[in-house]
Structure 1
């Protein structure tokens, strides 16, 4: 069985270094000397982490790095030694969703439960911690965490956060369309909400030269531009026309044991771009069109600022020049790539130079499975030496100019790429092809969009009925249930649909009345809930 390097899953960069993580190891490249090192080559010969690293950050003074991974552990490294020296390890209560450094080098961690914490750079001594609360206590009351200070909480998954350039505010975003501006470090004081998003928000960015602006994006068709100091939306930039043609990875699907709830596409939206996101009959995909903007970054030229972004599971990088007049619609430039983009970062020693990571296993080891392939694991195909060599070339160098034009210059960048590719291929970091095929690299495509009919929303009040009920979900995707289909649904399901804007007529009121009557005459009777089998795509 072939062995392959883990892909570089996340990047961070400073004025002199590029830092990236592959598997459970971190790698660092000194841009000025074109040398690289890795935690996999530490003097102990062992790796400090045990889970896939998904988030990485460099401190403002460029001397520390922090990582979060699947092992629910915060690792802090010193970058002044080669390879990076592990300084501390602290358990996090829940799996992290984002990590960054504050001005004073405190480490800001947001998690997928909806909490944001501040960890000191160096953990307190054991003598000052006292008796550590149990895991159950920490989950029920995050403020008891002896390792960190609870800054704020949302009632939904926090997807991203950013500390403002003045260091006095923290901006957080979540799955439920919220963008919140809070004071920092007294983050219990909420300054304002930025209202208007029409879908989950998964990426935030403040351009360095225009510090009052905030760019946000996620699953909706636009990037929104805000003045975060006032809460005013200054403009939007339509992106779906450029993003949709480059989608490669789809979400997991849910198999409906009761196919009457299947999602139907409006016939007017059955073109080529829509076909990618049409589930088979009896199966369900989440709302939207499979777009999840993962990252927004800036490259500065003397008189122009270029915004770069990509969407999870898409095989393209996109760029546009940020206009001085935000009411103008800039042209988006797209660079198609052979594989889905995993992350990118700027090489700050060379203006306009970018380093990208691609999922080169996609297409050979992984794909969007057909219905027939669900329900079990399937052995990946045998790989030739040429296949293995090709999959090991997972890093790409791209040049962007002041107009936003993008060029792949990988073939001319061998001297800078060779040390990085060599560090990825350290024998101790290689894994069997079955492991690489099973890496979950696109979980946000399933986690963040709404699943129509299966969200835990409040029950709504009944409204007048129509012959059919339609919910709009973006990109022309319309979920259509006939009156007969709605009549067969349970009370809980009707309530969820109603809370999402579906007109269920007077059926909800009738169901409630029948349920109360049945409960009175049959106290032990319970409502039968929806039966749904969740089947995940083994490839992702």
Structure 2
């Protein structure tokens, strides 16, 4: 029998939470007993849970009292952990990519695939005004969310600084931006240097001024995020690549937003191909665009490096970075006690099954969620627990009651269709935007003008993508001219607004100090 893997864990002293596909389970942290579960909800409520699809993003409030989740139906749900009571739900404008709590339990931040971050109060107001499109956001917010910031590309990850004054965000176009919080239109700095997508960022627990970022590049990058200075690189490709076991889907199976195309389209295409093939056989000729000979081997997609999560911990006075990669069967760690200029060799622990997620406990032990039933030989060990001792991973000998429960009593049956819908490895195909391995983010060539006369049908670039490329090129050209040695807040001082206050639409902002990069940043934000 197949089961949903545990895709995310939250561990607290008294209560722990396991998310498995569309379901949520509340457990006693000491005994492992299941206290509440969406599986046990009344049929009407359970149907709503299943209709939402797999939980894609979740966050636990700092007090541990509330849980925020979002699924494929783009509904933000707030649950009270004690008793697993649904307190509210709101419609999100676009598919979410990340959720976090801010300002204690009072504010929920949600990033989406259009590159925007909106904030929502924990409890929605009774009367929400009719949504009006913000001049700075790329889409309307039907639930009255307040726009914090916006990128011109899919926003993959964001974190708040330890003091809560800044929000650091990363996108698929290799950008890392440091903005003020909650006034995200004030950009403090950019951390530029990645040449491929950025999929994970982390502010170190033992060094709040240091940011670690990773994605499709062969190295993790270390930043002083307030100045935008790259302090060093930690090469990881050679250590990670041997353990990547999952290949990405073919690009033809995804739409331009990186989502799987509807099955209806594929069925129509398959039916059309079959019809063409049958017509060709009747005429004794091969139809145009015929499929290759089944006897010929189909070339496999190359493995893709995509860092999924980065964390930091201190164990026995040693400082470590711990990270995982999508589709890799191992968890990785590097000792940075001696500094980032001379990191130790990368340590790994191979579980034999792809790592879905991990969480570092207060005692520095690491709980790892596995796709245990991946491959031909599946098993039921969904979660394992390991420690870092003297720079080496070691399994924890003591069997924790909670760990035992996660691997036995908390398993929820799933059909083959359910697991296909879960689609844990879709980011391997949707994150890489530019397939050329030699792509350089600082050397951009815009495509030729889209004239119907010289562009083949089906090869046009959409308006959205063209706008992103133009904004990116303009920004980088100006940055080359003036440099990025001073904080963004210093460069935008002295801005003055021009135009009629009563005129509709966004205002034009011009830098009185003739600083071109400030103007570009404000144009990009609008």
Distance 1:527 1:230 in 2: 43
**How much has 1:213 moved relative to structure 2?**
0.8
Confirm or deny: 8 A CA contact 1:398 1:406 kept in the other structure.
yes
3-state SS of paired residue (1:6): coil
Which position in structure 2 is the counterpart of 1:76? 78
Mapping of residues 322-333 of structure 1, within 5 Å:
322-333=336-347
**How much has 1:16 moved relative to structure 2?**
4.7
Which position in structure 1 is the counterpart of 2:406? 420
Unpaired segments ≥5 residues, structure 1: 257-279, 365-386, 454-470, 475-497, 502-507, 520-524, 533-540
Distance 1:300 1:86 in 2: 36
Change (3 A) 1:167 1:143: farther
2:333 matched to 1:405? Answer: no
Which position in structure 1 is the counterpart of 2:19? 21
* TM-score w.r.t. length of structure 2: 0.71
Which position in structure 1 is the counterpart of 2:495? none
2:243 matched to 1:246? Answer: yes
**Of 208, 212, 216, the match for 1:211:** 208
2:63 matched to 1:65? Answer: no
**Of 457, 473, 481, the match for 1:529:** 457
2:152 matched to 1:155? Answer: yes
- How many residues in Structure 1 have an aligned counterpart in Structure 2? 412
**Of 303, 325, 344, the match for 2:358:** 344
Change (3 A) 1:303 1:60: same
2:33 matched to 1:35? Answer: yes
Which position in structure 1 is the counterpart of 2:372? 360
2:443 matched to 1:472? Answer: no
3-state SS of paired residue (1:529): coil
Alpha-carbon displacement from aligned partner over 1:365-416 (angstroms, at most 9, x marks no partner): xxxxxxxxxxxxxxxxxxxxxx6xx533212122222x3311233x742633
Mapping of residues 104-253 of structure 1, within 5 Å:
104-105=104-105, 106-126=107-127, 129-131=128-130, 142=139, 144-253=141-250
Alpha-carbon displacement from aligned partner over 1:9-51 (angstroms, at most 9, x marks no partner): 1233345543231111112333344433343255536435321
**How much has 1:303 moved relative to structure 2?**
2.0
Alpha-carbon displacement from aligned partner over 1:37-82 (angstroms, at most 9, x marks no partner): 3432555364353210122211122221111221211111122x13
Alpha-carbon displacement from aligned partner over 1:466-487 (angstroms, at most 9, x marks no partner): xxxxx6259xxxxxxxxxxxxx
3-state SS of paired residue (1:209): coil
Confirm or deny: 8 A CA contact 1:357 1:394 kept in the other structure.
yes
Confirm or deny: 8 A CA contact 2:137 2:147 kept in the other structure.
no
3-state SS of paired residue (2:422): coil
Which position in structure 2 is the counterpart of 1:440? 423
**Of 426, 431, 439, the match for 2:414:** 431
Change (3 A) 1:146 1:293: same
Which position in structure 2 is the counterpart of 1:461? none
Which position in structure 1 is the counterpart of 2:6? 8
Confirm or deny: 8 A CA contact 1:52 1:71 kept in the other structure.
no
Confirm or deny: 8 A CA contact 2:204 2:312 kept in the other structure.
yes
Alpha-carbon displacement from aligned partner over 1:410-442 (angstroms, at most 9, x marks no partner): x742633232234533xxx42223432553111
3-state SS of paired residue (1:338): coil
> Alignment RMSD, CA only?
3.2
Change (3 A) 1:320 1:202: same
Distance 1:419 1:253 in 2: 37
Mapping of residues 475-514 of structure 1, within 5 Å:
499=444
Mapping of residues 300-319 of structure 1, within 5 Å:
300-301=314-315, 303-319=317-333
Which position in structure 2 is the counterpart of 1:391? 379
Confirm or deny: 8 A CA contact 2:100 2:108 kept in the other structure.
yes
**How much has 1:529 moved relative to structure 2?**
3.4
Confirm or deny: 8 A CA contact 1:398 1:407 kept in the other structure.
yes
2:312 matched to 1:298? Answer: yes
Alpha-carbon displacement from aligned partner over 1:237-295 (angstroms, at most 9, x marks no partner): 11111100001001112469xxxxxxxxxxxxxxxxxxxxxxx9996958xx5010000
Distance 2:16 2:359 in 1: 8
3-state SS of paired residue (2:386): strand
Change (3 A) 1:328 1:421: same
Which position in structure 2 is the counterpart of 1:100? 100
Distance 2:313 2:374 in 1: 29
Distance 1:235 1:18 in 2: 37
Which position in structure 1 is the counterpart of 2:293? none
Distance 1:317 1:161 in 2: 22
